[in-house]
A and B are shown apart, each in its own frame.
Chain A
Amino acid sequence: DQQVKQNSPSLSVQEGRISILNCDYTNSMFDYFLWYKKYPAEGPTFLISISSIKDKNEDGRFTVFLNKSAKHLSLHIVPSQPGDSAVYFCAASANRAGGTSYGKLTFGQGTILTVHP
Chain B
Amino acid sequence: GAVVSQHPSWVICKSGTSVKIECRSLDFQATTMFWYRQFPKQSLMLMATSNEGSKATYEQGVEKDKFLINHASLTLSTLTVTSAHPEDSSFYICSAASPSGSPDEQYFGPGTRLTVT
Interface of B is mostly: strand
- Dominant secondary structure at the A interface: loop
A4 partner residues in chain B, CB cutoff 8 A: 43
Show the binding face of B for A, using Cβ within 8 Å: 1, 4, 6, 9, 32, 34, 36, 41-46, 49, 57, 91, 93, 95, 97, 101-104, 106-111, 113
Is the Cβ of A105 less than 8 Å from the Cβ of B104? no
A-B contact count (CB 8 A): 70
Write out the residue numbers on chain A whose beta carbons fall within 8 Å of the beta carbon of B110. 41-43
Indicate whether A89 sits within 8 Å of B44 (C-beta atoms), given known contacts A103-B32, A104-B34: yes
Within the complex, what minimum Cβ distance (angstroms) separates A55 from chain B?
Answer: 18
For chain A, the bracket of interface size reads 20 to 34
Q: Are A43 and B108 in contact (CB under 8 A)?
A: yes
